[in-house]
Structure 1
Amino acid sequence: MTSVWHELAAGSVGGMAGILVGHPADTIKVRQQTLGGSPLATLRATLKHEGTRGLYKGMAFPLVTNGLLNAIYFGAYSGALRGLDWALGGPAGGGSADRPPDTGRLFVAGCVGGVAQLVVATPVDLVKIQLQTRTEGAGWRAHYTTAARGPLGCLAELYRRRGVRGWYHGLGAMAGRDVASFGLYITLYERASWELRRRAAVSRRGAALLAGGLAGTAAWLSILPLDVIKSKLQADDPARPLYRGVVHCARLTVLRDGPRALFAGGTLLAARAFVVNAVIFLGYECGLEAIHWLEYRPNSTAVLASSGED
């Protein structure tokens, strides 16, 4: 039987794998959204001025907080799903071997998880973006660049400027981006996974790969304009911001660069989302299999002891 701790451990394995695979593309996406230019031009400029290490700026903080974020999200999600099952009655919302998941319950529970994870995810994303936009090429800089070189220094700088509020710069945009998309993401994944395994007889790993990739791509594309605005807000100077909020940022972006600017990074985001989310759920399934193998493998000490008695 799979316990909550098994789920969290496997989720952390999948999450870390997704970060390692997807962070370079995420850096290019964020720089494209905040500095402009095509994905290829942004990649060339990054490699020219910073080398390959520039692609991994800001990765450490998401990597080390991944387990905590998983615990918060899946704890809130599973608790909300159980609460909905108790309140509404009937079959469990997560589905069964012969009954598909209840998409309404999954969506609501996913949104609850999306709200809960904002407490940690907002500072993590803010620090990540502040470090990702710390470019080193002359003439290729954002209007604000943090002086910090690492996550702890960035957190300290934000705290000195605005206190704890500084860690939640861009919270409104992040909530707008994450809450509904987390609900959509988990709903699409669970339903697609069920359909692939039950109706198309796809293996557990194959279903995780395909359903994860498709769900991630659809969820990310659905909130692309909000992702662009969030990147701009969180790359802004927290003490003397250029943008006064989500609406002001959207208006200035459209006036300056046209409506297409709200969809910057879309091609890269779609490709990255499929690969990263396929890796996340495949890593999750493989992690769960490894945990089960370690827990239920034959006890070699007991086997040796019994053979010695014969």
Structure 2
Amino acid sequence: MSFPLISIAVYNSVVFGVFSCTQRFICQHRYGKPNHPPALIDLTLASMATGAFSVGIGCPVDLVKIRLQMQTQTFLTANLETKYRATGVSVQTAYRGPVHCVATILQQEGLAGLYRGSTAMFLRDVPGYCLYFIPYTFVSVWITPEECLSPTPFSAWMAGGIAGIISWGTATPMDVVKSRLQADGVSLNKYKGVIDCICQSYHCEGLKVFFRGLTVNTVRGFPVCAATFLGYELSLKALRKKA
């Protein structure tokens, strides 16, 4: 839990920072004012840029998190699995912590190893962030009273929760593929790439495999994203008052 807790603050600050700066840049270029209300195309371009940029940070973070979480079960190498099960000999976990996990991956697989599953994550995050920031923007404007210049705490909370449900609900299939690719390679390399992972998963478990965890993602998406957007809007208001 320590690694996700530490990394999530940095990751979210980068994501929101890239989206905000990109949106302001687009509005400045198109309308001459960075604070001009963005059109749908402006939000789409900013969201796509954010999704593409987020892979650079998010992919190694997710990889380390998944590799460490996999150690809740006994780690067995592919070649010695049967032998150890037969003799009852316990096997030590592969990683002692996040730093050791990163060092081991770099040593065994190189820098490319930290970006295992990056293609799947790109295919998840580019449309995923479009369905994250765009619904939030329109819903928050819709439920915010006209006399308010910025979203109220309730508007930010509700719009963020709705955006989280939409985003995570639609991103689940590619998230499954991404997680399988990142979990692959600990004991053996089962998948050759995104297409191979999709084909093998569908052949072995059917179409339902791509919706595994859908309920958890959508239920989790509301409170997590509601709190994220609420914290973002309240932070902006506090910083503006100090400025």
What's the TM-score once normalised by structure 2's chain length?
Answer: 0.83
Following superposition, the deviation at residue 146 of structure 1 comes to 6.0
Q: Which residue of 1 aligns with 2:96?
A: 149
Following superposition, the deviation at residue 238 of structure 1 comes to 5.6
Residue of 256, 265, 272 corresponding to 2:220 = 272
8 A Cα contact 2:25 2:34, kept in partner:
no
**Cα deviation code 1:20-62 (max 9, x no counterpart):** xxxxxxxxxxxxxxxxxxxxxxxxxxxxxxxxxxxxxxx3223
- Structure 2 counterpart of 1:124, which letter? V
Point out where structure 2 has 5 or more consecutive residues left out of the alignment. Answer: 82-91
Following superposition, the deviation at residue 65 of structure 1 comes to 2.5
| Residues 203/108 of structure 1: CA separation in 2 closer, same or farther (3 Å cut) | closer
Following superposition, the deviation at residue 203 of structure 1 comes to 6.9
What is the 5 A alignment of 1:133-212?
133-136=70-73, 147-198=94-145, 204-212=152-160
**C-alpha distance in 1 between matches for 2:173 and 2:147:** 35
8 A Cα contact 2:140 2:151, kept in partner:
no
**C-alpha distance in 2 between matches for 1:283 and 1:205:** 9
Point out where structure 1 has 5 or more consecutive residues left out of the alignment. Answer: 1-58, 96-100, 297-310
**Cα deviation code 1:103-138 (max 9, x no counterpart):** 220111011111112111110010011111222369
Give the count of matched residue pairs. 228
| Residues 290/76 of structure 1: CA separation in 2 closer, same or farther (3 Å cut) | closer
| Residues 146/187 of structure 1: CA separation in 2 closer, same or farther (3 Å cut) | farther
| Residues 182/278 of structure 1: CA separation in 2 closer, same or farther (3 Å cut) | same
2:8 corresponds to 1:61:
no
**C-alpha distance in 1 between matches for 2:107 and 2:166:** 39
What is the 5 A alignment of 1:214-233?
214-233=162-181
| Residues 249/146 of structure 1: CA separation in 2 closer, same or farther (3 Å cut) | farther
8 A Cα contact 1:161 1:239, kept in partner:
no
| Residues 243/185 of structure 1: CA separation in 2 closer, same or farther (3 Å cut) | same
Identical residues among aligned pairs (%): 35
8 A Cα contact 2:151 2:233, kept in partner:
no
**C-alpha distance in 2 between matches for 1:255 and 1:200:** 55
What is the 5 A alignment of 1:91-170?
95=37, 101-136=38-73, 147-170=94-117
- Structure 2 counterpart of 1:63, which letter? L
8 A Cα contact 1:213 1:273, kept in partner:
yes
Note the aligned Cα RMSD (angstroms): 2.9
SS state at 2:184 partner: coil
What's the TM-score once normalised by structure 1's chain length?
Answer: 0.66
| Residues 292/79 of structure 1: CA separation in 2 closer, same or farther (3 Å cut) | closer
